[in-house]
Amino acid sequence: MMEEHLHEVKRENKKQEQRYQINQARKCHQAFKTSTYEQFKDVNPDRVEGTCRWVLSHPQYLQWATSDEDNFLWISADPGCGKSVLAKSLVDNELRTTIDHTVCYFFFKDNEQQDKLTTALCALLHQLFSHQPQLVQYAISAWEKTGDNVVKEVPELWRTLLAAAMGHEAHDVTCVLDALDECRLPDRQRLIDMLGRFYAQISPSSSTTRRGRLKILVTSRPYFEVVQGFHRNARHRHLYHIAAEKENASLTSDVQLYVRQRLNDLSVSNISPQQICVVEEKLMLAHQHNFLCAFLLTESLFEQPPGTMKQLLAVLDQLPKSMEEQYERILSRCKNHRKAKEVLSLIVAARRPLSLEEIDVILSFQDNGRSCHDLDLQGCEGVLDTVRYTCGLFVRVVDGKIYLLHETAREFLLRRVRLSPNRYGTRSWKSSIGLATSHSNLALTCVTFMKMRNRPRLAPFSAFLNYAHQNWAYHVLEAWGLVRESGQGQFIQKMIGWGLDMQLVDADGRTLLHQTLNVAEINLEHVRLVLSHGGLVQSADRENMTCMHYAALRREHGVIPILIEAGFNVNARVIRGNPTGFEAASVGSKVQRNSVSKLGLTALHAAAFFGRPDNLRLLLNEGAEVNVQNETRRTALHLVLGLSLGGRRLYDIWDDAVYMVDHIWDYDDEDYVETDSQAHEARQSILHMLCDHPNIDISIKDNYGQTALHMVRYNRDGSEVHATQHLIEHGADRLAQDDDGVTPLHLAARAGDLLSLEVLVESPGDVMIEDNRGCNSLLCAARSGFDDVVQFVVDMCADSSIYLSADHLGRNALHHCFYDENDFFLHPTPELVRVLLQAGVNANHQDHDGLDTLAWYASNLFLNAEVEIMELLITHGADLNYKDQSGRNLAHLVMQCDVEFDLDVLLMLLKYGVDALSVDHDGRGILHHAAISGSVTVELLSYLSESLHLNIASLDAFGKSALDCAKETRREIAEKPWGPDIFREDRWRDTEAAFLQHGRDYRKKPR
């Protein structure tokens, strides 16, 4: 009874762990929903029937679509030629998502919501995980490590997308990225580079060894930098290109179909079929290749349809001959020029598309003064009529938000040069709107509205107040940056005269001074101007960072002296509620701004963590406390050592040139190698600077009992040996134990860092030290997976009995090389196992649960067992007759892997006499267990029935066959409230298919 109870407890624990994993997977999946990407697609019109067929039959498209390899298609076209309409149609129709094929998409647009690469990659991942939930496993690790901040890191998002889409569990995946040219420039260049590197590195065989293919389709205008970027990669056979700007005949045919459809839609009773033919011919002669032009002309043509053929021809002769002329014609009809310019200025300057409620408040505010009670709101319907009346076809309203007709309309309006009056007798609308004025007006509206008191609690006011809180500083800075340098001081004075309060904060708790430090390139003169006009703000924002903290982590080291001169405290402390202090403050964490306690994050921590030696030197010279501890009692020395450099870059969320990524996977890339080298040099400089400080205390421990030597990122390549040696030379304790009893020796051994281990170990007794779980350096080295590290530890203790050591659970080094302390199955090499056995580690040693090393290995498999490893254990005395409390022997256990079973494993066990026909206490044989795990193959079934004469249809104690068990498991997994199994969810379907195929094969054989 006791054994059955223990078995039941283990089963329940396993179920709870599965629930936890599924819940984590759901949360991870939801983290990637950072945009309304569905609306970004659906805002585009549907494709007219019959158009775009030339694309679908184009040789380049067909080769891309039908190829069995991962590949990339770039479709370029001039403005107004229907790229977004085509992309929408491909997503919804031709490439649509099916059971075996997932289409992920993102539509870029030149606005704050749609122009970031991070937003696009998150959208692709969210869609991918929605349709193939088993792939979320590829994102779990990064998400658990950085939380929702993972959505801000382009390299990690890209790595996750490639890993998931190219995983062996993945079906076919197609990613559609529309309007790449409207992605912000740095992100656009990076995506082009990443695509080029990816397709340059994939091998012809990589696609054939997986179930699915990864195909990417991108549309864009043929801008020089886009063309140049993609053509650098044109030598790769995986790149296909359709240059629509060169397909005049095909575009002409499509536009003709479109015009014909538009004329049918707009036809009225007094226009005859003959007149429609004349209109179609005239329009096609004027605008053969442009859908946008055709749309504008057909819209304007039938506002007042002429009655006779003569009148119709007269109208046609007066139609604009270019897109710019069409735009001028549309806007020339505005009855209220001032109001039209006011509305268009708002649309052009807004950081994102404005809603009808928001623009209602803005227009009313600008017309009626600065009191909420003076505002005369029109309501959504009223303001919709106003916008349509003043701007006509130049704007469109979709889902309550206002957009310009096309991106070319924005380019048309923005001021670059002033044109002379045009033929219509009024000033040209081309280049009529200056962004500086537009941003200034919008900034003034936001600032004044935020300062108003007694605002009525109306939905429009709340909507615009939210926009104002989030974007007032953006508009101030945009306007400021467009003002000539000589007039920037006057600009700030003017804004103050309008009511700008330097202490005003945005939705993130940031003042204007915070914002001047949170731009891509800091303008030192702007910083001085803000400070000279009362902008000295010591408080922290909602990220709990002061301006001094931001200045310390930036590469521009000229900011710190300016802030110090203005009176900033270099030792100001903040509490951020997370281990490093440099992730977003966690929800519900204790926030203490400018804490005067002894603990807290200072600017010195920021300079150390982000690798800014110049800033750190400035802070130390100005009296920064070198031993100050953050809320987890870590000093700057802890943080600079915790900044991993092996396989990483520095991370600066504002500087585009320097990034931290978890995997630098292209070590042949000169930029990556150079960045890695620069980061390493920066950290070494800071390490020396801190260690050489006369007041440094290297022995300080954090909340976890870890010293600076514990914080070293020990790794296999030995790149940290210099840091290790330098700390020891300055008095660091090699054998210091943290709260878990772990020493730096344990950490170096676990990481496989042989070079650092050689520096840390001085005597045999060092490697014998145990942590609180009874693990010494040999057990840690076994978990590293590197036989040379194990050999080093064994050699250090040649005269001792370290090979007999086991932890407090009775597990020896062989147990540890298969499974680590975090319950992760490891995959040691046969050579590692051989070294441990030759050192004297006992293969037959049992832990406190009665599992010897072979049983432990077989019980914890995720992938197939390795035949060579099992043979090594068997020939060194492992128990072949092992059975667990449920009566399962070794043959039962190896069947329980999560991949297709490797028959060679069973053949090896049979060779050594393991009973493959045995059943457990529930009457289940090896086939039942394989079916429950979903690892059955046709090859396995054939061998069991033909060679072992096993009855495939045999029933267990509950009257169920192996096929019944597979079906039942598949049903249970699908019906669980926490969702499907995320690890190869199709394996039970594949198992059922194997049974069916075996049955068909059996019936075909001659009797």
What total of structural domains would you count in the chain? 2
Amino acid 458: pLDDT: 75
Least confident span in 198-202, 306-310, 374-378, 747-751: 306-310
Q: Are residues 118 and 197 in the same domain?
A: yes
Using the predicted structure, report yes or no on whether residue 522 has a pLDDT greater than 60. yes
What is the share, in percent, of the chain residues with pLDDT greater than 70? 83
Q: Are residues 240 and 111 in the same domain?
A: yes
Which tens digits make up the pLDDT trace of 558-597? Answer: 999 999 999 999 998 888 654 455 544 333 333 343 444 5
Average pLDDT estimate for 949-953:
93
Residue 957 located in a structural domain: no
Q: How confident is the model at residue 89 (pLDDT cuts 50, 70, 90)?
A: very high
Residue 687 located in a structural domain: no
The mean pLDDT value of the chain amounts to 83
Residue 133 located in a structural domain: yes
Q: Which one is predicted more confidently, 576 or 913?
A: 913
Could you tell me which residues are beta bridge partners of residue 574? 601
Q: Are residues 64 and 191 in the same domain?
A: yes
Amino acid 781: pLDDT: 96
CB 608 within 8 A of CB 686: yes
Residue 719 located in a structural domain: no
Q: Are residues 168 and 93 in the same domain?
A: yes
CB 436 within 8 A of CB 407: no
Q: Are residues 52 and 121 in the same domain?
A: yes
Least confident span in 123-132, 192-201, 715-724, 828-837: 192-201
Task: Write out the residue range of the structural domain in which residue 295 sits.
Answer: 249-319
CB 157 within 8 A of CB 121: yes
Amino acid 754: pLDDT: 96
Task: Say which residue the tokens 């057909």 belong to.
Answer: 298
List phi, psi (to 5°) of 301: -60, -40
Q: How confident is the model at residue 847 (pLDDT cuts 50, 70, 90)?
A: very high
CB 142 within 8 A of CB 160: yes
CA 225 to chain centre: 25
Question: Among candidates 248, 342, 244, which has minimal Cα distance to 287?
Answer: 248
Classified as helix, coil or strand, 174 is strand
Tokens of 975: 């019906």
Q: What is the largest CA-CA distance in the chain?
A: 111
Question: Among candidates 680, 664, 751, 750, which has minimal Cα distance to 716?
Answer: 751
DSSP state of 881: T
CA distances from 115 to 109, 120, 697 (A): 6, 8, 47
Question: Among candidates 839, 856, 851, which has minimal Cα distance to 803?
Answer: 839
Q: Which residues of 221-307 form beta strands (DSSP E)?
A: 239-243
Amino acid 897: pLDDT: 84
Q: How confident is the model at residue 984 (pLDDT cuts 50, 70, 90)?
A: low
Q: Are residues 86 and 182 in the same domain?
A: yes
Average pLDDT estimate for 808-814:
95
Question: Among candidates 284, 295, 293, which has minimal Cα distance to 256?
Answer: 284
Residue 292 located in a structural domain: yes
* Interior angle at CA 588, CA 584 and CA 594, nearest 5: 65
Using the predicted structure, report yes or no on whether residue 782 has a pLDDT greater than 90. yes
Q: Are residues 296 and 177 in the same domain?
A: no
Amino acid 542: pLDDT: 82
Using the predicted structure, report yes or no on whether residue 121 has a pLDDT greater than 50. yes
Using the predicted structure, report yes or no on whether residue 15 has a pLDDT greater than 70. no
Amino acid 891: pLDDT: 95
Residue 451 located in a structural domain: no
Q: Are residues 165 and 71 in the same domain?
A: yes
pTM score over 0.85 = no
The alpha-helical segments, DSSP class H, found in 306-434 are: 309-317, 323-332, 337-349, 356-368, 379-391, 407-413
Amino acid in the structure at residue 535: G
DSSP state of 354: P
Residue 131 located in a structural domain: yes
DSSP state of 240: E
Which residues, at least 6 apart from 771, have a Cβ–Cβ distance to it below 8 Å? 737, 740, 741, 742, 743, 746
Amino acid 596: pLDDT: 42
Q: How confident is the model at residue 420 (pLDDT cuts 50, 70, 90)?
A: very low
Amino acid 598: pLDDT: 72
Tokens of 321: 């001959």
Domain final position from 245, 276, 308? 245
Residue 291 located in a structural domain: yes
Domain final position from 213, 245, 277? 245
- How far is 865 from 867, CA to CA, in rounded Å? 6
Which tens digits make up the pLDDT trace of 41-71? Answer: 999 989 988 888 899 999 999 999 998 888 9
Which tens digits make up the pLDDT trace of 480-516? Answer: 878 776 777 788 888 887 778 888 888 788 888 988 8
Task: Say which residue the tokens 């679509």 belong to.
Answer: 65
Domain final position from 245, 269, 298? 245
Q: Are residues 220 and 127 in the same domain?
A: yes
- How far is 839 from 600, CA to CA, in rounded Å? 49
- How far is 834 from 848, CA to CA, in rounded Å? 24
Amino acid in the structure at residue 12: E
Which tens digits make up the pLDDT trace of 599-654? Answer: 888 999 999 988 899 999 999 999 999 999 988 899 999 999 875 433 333 333 33
Q: Are residues 136 and 256 in the same domain?
A: no
Could you tell me which residues are beta bridge partners of residue 76? 220, 243
First to last CA, the chain: 48
Q: Are residues 194 and 253 in the same domain?
A: no
Q: Are residues 148 and 269 in the same domain?
A: no
DSSP β-ladder status, 214-220 and 71-76: parallel
Question: Among candidates 68, 59, 185, 218, which has minimal Cα distance to 117?
Answer: 185
